[in-house]
Amino acid sequence: ADKKTQKSDGRYNGYIRNSITSPIDGFAVGAFSGIAEYWRVDQPVDKDHRLIPMAESINMQKSVSFLAEEHIIREGRGAVKFMSLLRRKRNLSPAAFSEAWSGRHAALVRSVQEVWRLFRGYRQNHVIPGTCRQLDGSKMARPYDGIVEIWFDNLTDLERTMMSERYRAVIRPDEETFVDLPNTRMFSTETIVFPANSDSI
């Protein structure tokens, strides 16, 4: 979503700002300039909750908010971060999508050492059904179902992963079984992590 910073209202433990540097070739390109992540441990789910920053800093009609549950597949971070906004295949339920992604697919990625050894961190964020909507309050015709975060040491390693023979022969075909790839948006980002109680939250 295209948003700037907002002062903390006391509900958030941290804030990560991801500025999109470039889309990944071959995937859908959206009009996003950044992705902001706010998180809190053990916060009750409020499906009507929307984090709305100052109106003058954001296009409310083109920005999206959702709540997600984080699944850490590999702990860690790197200098370059890859992010992707995912939509599930139309024939899958949200539960079936999440099961395929966090179960079979995560295990498959770990098994492909040509790719896995380049990952410095890997997190899956599974969107809680019913929470994805435009920031102006309207519902999306086709909500997102997940957002993936993968860290690399450098951009070369990211490109090497996407172009690797094993990714294209093993991992990509599995993605096609549960992800609507033509409607998936992929980016590399510059990321700033703000600690809890930061003035930028």
Write down all domains in the chain, each with its CATH number in brackets. 14-194 (3.30.70.100)
The single-letter DSSP state of residue 116 is: H
Average pLDDT over residues 173-200: 70
Q: What is the pTM of this model?
A: 0.73
Tokens 């930028």: give the residue.
Answer: 200
- Torsion angle defined by CA atoms of residues 35, 38, 43 and 44, in that order, rounded to the nearest 10 degrees: -30
Distance of CA 61 to the CA centre of its chain: 20
Token pair belonging to 170: 């093993």
E strand spans, 128-179: 133-134, 146-152
Tell me the pLDDT tens digit for each residue of 13-53: 555 655 555 555 444 445 556 566 555 556 555 555 555 55
Average pLDDT over residues 162-171: 95
Cα separation values, 8 from 46, 141, 196, 198, Å: 18, 30, 9, 8
Cα separation values, 131 from 39, 64, 156, Å: 15, 10, 35
E strand spans, 87-142: 121-127, 133-134
Tell me the C-alpha distance between 127 and 94, whole Å.
Answer: 9
**Contact by Cβ (8 Å): 191, 17:** yes
